[in-house]
Structure 1
Amino acid sequence: MIEAVGQYETLLQEVSEEVFTQSPAEGQWSYSETFSHIFQSNLASLIAVEKCFLKTGIINKKGTPWQVLAILFFGRLPPGKFKAPERIASMVKIISKEEASNLIVKFRKRLSELKDKVDKADRDQMIKHPRLGLLNAKQWWRFIEIHTKHHTRQLERISRQLKGER
């Protein structure tokens, strides 16, 4: 996960403020909007991790559906584009490079605060994910990693589009 965050930081250093906020095409997210989404979503996901650790979630002894376990095991979301849930999409906005950098710092700080607690969390304590259903702390942690890497591919697409490549 830290390696993927490093890719975000490198991109942030390499692009101008103008390019950072430029949409590659009508209706598509800019780098800025992608950063806004990924780090706000990841920070919200870390709150879910913490709730599992603090035992303020839902107790679920039924287990996790095999489809979700497959996503977590293989480390990839299913192919295709996904529309963010309305609650998440409404948080996305155009932010400056400085705001993006601040979100990364905040995310890294929360990661380090929670990293040792994940393995100690009760696996039956779960918080609902908008698409994947109930996840425990370890599953949320893995989802954050998958989600972060997933959007690095989006950043590569944005880069190609801004350069006029396919």
Structure 2
Amino acid sequence: MSDIILLITFKNDLINYSKEQLRNISEEGVWSIGQMYDHLIVVAHEYLDNMESCATLNEDYSLGKTQFGEQLFSNGGFPPIKIRLPEELNSPPNNSDSKEDLISRMDQLIQRLSHWESKVDDINPKNKVEHGGFGWLNAKEWYVLVGMHFRHHLRQKEELESYIV
């Protein structure tokens, strides 16, 4: 499944949730479905911002990925585990967006990803921006990371949906 189709599928799934279901927090420390969507959208835009930075750089970086970054890209995705960020990076995502807001935000993200789909391969692969955990990534890697991140959250999505049935 292409990354854009994956994002469209996530967006289309929003239709199935009521306002209460989107905001339902089953227990302390567990996100709502709405928070998961907010997280995915915010992080995807951060990744695309870094991809766009790679497009404007004029310096070649020979710096590489961390060991985890190498593993991530050689495996084509995140390991099937829950990943908890350090507390200072782990503030809860927004839980107040309506279904319509989330659909609109997903549409904007899909449009942005689609805009770059045919252009990302033309960006110099030596132009890189550092990711705190994965090391130095080029534009294509930042672009691919969007889909990897969405796929990583598929299990979480299924788990959160089981709490609202």
Q: How does 1:47-86 map to 2 (within 5 A)?
A: 47-55=49-57, 59-65=60-66, 67-84=68-85
2:142 to 137, 140, 143: 140
Aligned mates of 1:42, 1:51 — CA distance in 2: 14
Q: Which moved more, 1:85-94 or 1:39-48?
A: 85-94
Shift of 1:65: 4.1
Q: CA RMSD of the aligned region, Å?
A: 2.1
Q: How does 1:116-135 map to 2 (within 5 A)?
A: 116-135=118-137
**Equivalent pair of 2:33/2:160 in contact (CA under 8 Å):** yes
Q: Which residue of 1 aligns with 2:33?
A: 31
With the length of structure 2 as denominator, give the TM-score of the two structures. Answer: 0.87
Per-residue CA distance 1:106-153 (angstroms, 9 max, x = gap): 101111221222101111111111211211011111111100111122
**Residue aligned with 1:19, SS:** helix
Aligned mates of 1:128, 1:90 — CA distance in 2: 22
Q: Which moved more, 1:91-100 or 1:133-142?
A: 91-100
Structure 2's unaligned 5+ residue stretches are none
1:17 to 8, 16, 19: 19
**Equivalent pair of 2:11/2:103 in contact (CA under 8 Å):** yes
Q: Which moved more, 1:128-137 or 1:84-93?
A: 84-93
Structure 1 ranges of 4+ moved more than 4 A: 85-88
Q: 1:123 to 1:85 in 2, by over 3 A?
A: farther
With the length of structure 1 as denominator, give the TM-score of the two structures. Answer: 0.86
Q: Which residue of 2 aligns with 1:114?
A: 116
- Which amino acid in 2 is paired with 1:161? Y
Aligned mates of 1:83, 1:59 — CA distance in 2: 32
Q: Percent identity?
A: 26
Shift of 1:87: 6.7
Aligned mates of 2:147, 2:61 — CA distance in 1: 23
Aligned mates of 1:85, 1:98 — CA distance in 2: 31
Structure 1's unaligned 5+ residue stretches are none
**Residue aligned with 1:122, SS:** coil
**Equivalent pair of 1:43/1:107 in contact (CA under 8 Å):** yes
Aligned mates of 2:136, 2:87 — CA distance in 1: 19
Aligned mates of 1:144, 1:133 — CA distance in 2: 16
Q: 1:144 to 1:131 in 2, by over 3 A?
A: same
Q: 1:134 to 1:80 in 2, by over 3 A?
A: same
